[in-house]
Structure 1
Amino acid sequence: MLELDKKNFDEVVYDSEGYVFVDFWSESCEPCKALMPGVHELAEKYGDKIKFASLDITKARRAAIKCGVLGLPTMLMFKDGEKVDTIDADTATIENIEAMIKKYY
């Protein structure tokens, strides 16, 4: 899992070819921290074809806002720098996250 910040966000997310999965989270988000071990397992399972990254929004709030992240947890899938799918707080389960990943794997 690549750790994103305001310095590398655009390069990793917008300037990459192929699929990039981004997990937006923060230390104060308990649901985010509960999902994190499962998300890391998915990164190991599907990381050969999809780039996995995470962003602590406290380190790059503007990047999160630019992506339309309004609440946590939020996971976004990008393809060639364009957002193609979203998992938000209402749908954030490991099962739903894996189903989204499998659509693009």
Structure 2
Amino acid sequence: MSKIIVNDQNFTEKVIESKKPILVDFWAEWCMPCRMVAPIIDEAVKELDDKVDIGKLNVDEAPLTANNYQIEAIPTLILFKDGKIFKRVLGVQPKEVIKQIISSAIE
């Protein structure tokens, strides 16, 4: 699995232009639920044979991108496929839900 640090400067290159679906985790250091969801995302992606990449976007360090995608609460997960939003979920989700979201994009 490829974990990519995403920011305002590289978002287009790393996410929009990605050939592979990418699940972007919008998070912040101070957000405890964000810390809870990170290992769940890792497990879900690993169980799906790394068919998607994971993007980590710290909303405090990338405010323009967070604002562009109207991130009002974190954690927010957005799955991008072919440069477009495929699915968006808010809050801590169980591993099975994350796997279903990813699976729907890679089928």
TM range (shorter): 0.7 to 0.9
Match of 1:69 in 2: 71
Pair 1:31 & 2:36 matched? no
Cα contact 1:72–1:88 (8 A) shared by 2: yes
User: What letter is aligned with 1:85?
Assistant: K
What is the match of residue 88 of structure 2? 86
Distance 1:93 1:22 in 2: 16
Q: How many residues align?
A: 104
SS of the residue corresponding to residue 38 of structure 2 reads helix
- What value does the CA root-mean-square deviation take over the aligned residues? 1.7
- Share of identical aligned residues, percent? 28
**TM-score, normalised by the number of residues in structure 1:** 0.85
Aligned 8 A contact 1:73 1:92 in 2: no
State the secondary structure of the residue aligned to 1:58: coil
Match of 1:17?
19
1:2 paired residue number:
4
- Please, which runs of 5 or more residues in structure 2 have no aligned partner? none
| Equivalent position amino acid for 2:104 in 1 | K
* Cα separation, 2, equivalents of 1:33 and 1:80: 28
Counterpart CA distance in 2 for 1:94 and 1:39 is 7
Distance apart, 1:95 and its partner CA = 2.8
Structure 2 residue 104 is matched with structure 1 residue 103: yes
> How far 1:28 moved relative to its partner?
1.4
Give, in angstroms, the shift of residue 68 of structure 1.
Answer: 2.3
Q: TM-score scaled by structure 2?
A: 0.84
> After TM superposition, where is structure 1 displaced by more than 4 Å over at least 4 residues in a row?
none
Q: Compute the displacement of 1:47 (Å).
A: 5.7
For 1:12-55, what per-residue CA distance to the aligned partner results, in whole angstroms no more than 9, with x for missing partners?
11122231110110011111111111112223333632121111
Q: 1:46 to 1:52 in 2, by over 3 A?
A: farther
